[in-house]
């Protein structure tokens, strides 16, 4: 079964991992990364928010799907996924900010970057 093929990444089932960690918490992580970029806050602040969001994600796994609440391994897995999504959200937003607010000096260079004009 697919449920126990990659027990290093998900605890109960693949569908539960995708739904809770990637879709629900990942959406919140992306929006948090976007908010941090819009307020010009630091990466450390974004990481602190993701530590809290990963704890909330573990609680959802525990409360709804009988996952382990205090599992360090699965907490770290959730945290890594959420950090990646949050930093992508921040980078996409920051690239747009740089190209829009400093259009005299920068242009958009792909979805995650910007480059100097000229």
Whether the per-residue pLDDT at 3 is higher than 60: the answer is no
Output the pTM of the full model.
0.88
Look at 21-25, 43-47, 55-59, 110-114 and tell me which has the smallest mean pLDDT.
110-114
For the chain, give every domain's residue range. 12-116
Taking alpha carbons only, the member of 42, 34, 76, 43 closest to residue 57 is 76
Contact status, residue 41 vs residue 51, Cβ threshold 8 Å: no
Contact status, residue 31 vs residue 37, Cβ threshold 8 Å: no
Whether the per-residue pLDDT at 1 is higher than 50: the answer is no
Whether the per-residue pLDDT at 4 is higher than 70: the answer is no
Q: Counting Cβ atoms within 10 Å, is residue 74 exposed (0-12), middle (13-18) or buried (19+)?
A: buried
Q: For all residues of the chain together, what is the average pLDDT?
A: 90
Residue 11: predicted pLDDT: 78
What pLDDT digit, counting tens, does each position of 89-112 carry? 999 999 999 999 998 999 989 889
Instruction: Give the pLDDT band (50/70/90) at residue 50.
Output: very high
Residue 6: predicted pLDDT: 54
Residue 12: predicted pLDDT: 75
Residue 9: predicted pLDDT: 74
């Amino acid at each position: 079964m697919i449920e126990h093929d990659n027990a290093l990444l998900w605890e109960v089932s693949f569908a539960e991992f995708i739904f809770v960690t990637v879709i629900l918490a990942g959406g919140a992580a992306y929006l948090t990364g976007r908010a941090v970029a819009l307020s010009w806050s630091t990466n450390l602040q974004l990481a602190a928010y993701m530590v809290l969001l990963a704890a909330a994600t573990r609680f959802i796994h525990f409360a709804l799907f009988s996952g382990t609440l205090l599992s360090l391994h699965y907490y770290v897995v959730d945290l890594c996924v959420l950090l990646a999504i949050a930093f992508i959200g921040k980078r996409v937003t920051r690239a747009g900010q740089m190209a829009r607010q400093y259009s005299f000096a920068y242009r958009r260079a792909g979805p995650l970057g910007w480059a100097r004009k000229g």
